[in-house]
Amino acid sequence: MRRGLIDWLTGGLARSRIDQARPFAEESKIRIDAALIEVVIAGLPDPVVVLDREGRVVAFNAPASVLAPALRSGEPASFALRMPEIVDAIRQASATGEAQRVEFSERVPLDRWYEAHVVPVTLRHARAGARPDLVLMTFHDQTPLRRIEEMRADFVANASHELRTPLATLTGFVETLQGPARNDPAARERFLAIMKQQADRMARLIDDLLSLSRIELNAHRRPDTPVDLVAVVRQVADGLQTLARSREVEIAITAPEEPLLVLGDRDELVRVWENLVENALKYGGSGKRVDIALAREAAAGLAEAVVSVRDYGPGIAPEHLPRLTERFYRVDVGQSRAEGGTGLGLALVKHILNRHGGRLAIESTVGQGATFAVRLPLAALDESL
Ligand code: ADP
């Protein structure tokens, strides 16, 4: 097998059938068939560049010319691959005959990270200890992996910070109760109430974190139980009546007579509107009114349910809109904390909707409130109604 491949690469078997064969490394009596190498590496998804022992380009595939547009056959690779790490690795690989692995990054036009393997190839005719005939370079784009690593690190840092703040408050009050306030019943009552609040906040945060990871775990499993969105929204609005009354906000629902059936997980869908309506009451409550509208719409031949939650509060400045569904992103951290928020509500909404094949659109004009509109595909059994 190995022998056959080398014969093939060096043109031993197929040379007579290749017209545009380009000879390299003539001096070692080996004819390296650049056209054949090019055909072989064309099928590989990652950038691949093959060099001769002098560091000149023998062949490269299309992904390689995207990575290094200046690559030209017959020219030194260092003209197109200028990263010092790469130039050095090629020199080392040709000089020592040992494979090299290097990492490098590009800053322009975007941050990208690559890993390159530079492998010297010695063909069978070579004498022992001779320099390699070819140098094979493969590149792997590490950018998506790096991004995930960064996101994970950010997430852990954020989650720990969010937990550490109430924990520090709790510890502070425990110490005060053990020391200076030991014999002060009035202070004890007040401090215990604050401690309960902080403990509740930690519990909410852990609850949201667990829900997020559970939803992510099931992200690729589409739920398949028919759920009526009209009933879900009415249940949520009923459940939030106490909060609405305390903020003196009226919730008005406009819904079709008949049910709006989607395939879903009822508890998760309840969570979506709990978050959206609760946010409207907490952040947009000054508008004194929250309108929830449910409707059936057709988009690109597909029947969809559209449910919008509109408040008449202060609204959200445009620069925040694209980031609202990021974990822990808040417009005003102080206000969110004061409202008992975790900064995870809209991230949960986004993940639940993704899992259901739905979308969230947020529109707002500062001073005129905000609209959070959810679109979900209607169940096929509902389309026929
Ligand atoms: P939180 O737990 O902070 O409420 P969310 O993810 O639910 O987290 O919301 C993120 C942020 O978006 C909130 O902190 C708030 O700043 C902003 N926000 C959400 N809904 C509204 C709204 N209806 N009006 C104004 N701001 C809102």
Confidence at residue 125, expressed as pLDDT on a 0 to 100 scale: 61
- What are the pLDDT digits (tens) for 126-172? 566 677 889 999 999 999 999 999 988 999 999 999 999 899 999 99
CB-based contacts of 138: which residues, under 8 Å, 6+ apart?
Answer: 44, 46, 47, 48, 116, 117, 119
Flag the least confident range among 4-13, 72-81, 243-252, 270-279.
Answer: 4-13
Residue 312 — pLDDT band, cuts 50, 70, 90? very high
> Atom 11, ligand 1: which residue's CA is nearest?
330
Nearest atom, ligand 1, residue 341 CA: 2
**107 vs 129: CA distance, rounded Å:** 39
The pLDDT of residue 381: 65
pLDDT at residue 348 in the model: 96
Q: What is the pTM of this model?
A: 0.73
Q: Is 274 helix (H, G, I), strand (E, B) or coil?
A: helix
Position 385 scores a pLDDT of 46
With a 6 Å cutoff on the Cβ, whether 237 touches ligand 1 is: no
pLDDT digits (tens, 9 = 90+) for 333-365: 889 988 888 999 999 999 999 999 999 999 999
What average pLDDT does the segment 2-30 reach?
A: 45
Q: In whole angstroms, give the CA distance from residue 93 to residue 51.
A: 11
- Among 211, 282, 330, 363, which is best to mutate for testing ligand 1, by the most ligand atoms less than 8 A from CB? 330
CB atoms within 10 A of CB 221: 9
**Is the CB of residue 212 below 6 angstroms from any atom belonging to ligand 1?**
no
Pocket test for ligand 1, best of 202, 212, 251, 283 (most atoms within 8 A of CB): 283
Residue 355, ligand 1, Cβ within 6 A: no
Give residue 279 CA to ligand 1 midpoint distance, Å.
6
Give residue 320 CA to ligand 1 midpoint distance, Å. Answer: 10
Q: What confidence category does residue 30 fall into, taking pLDDT thresholds of 50, 70 and 90?
A: low
Q: Which amino acid is at 105?
A: S
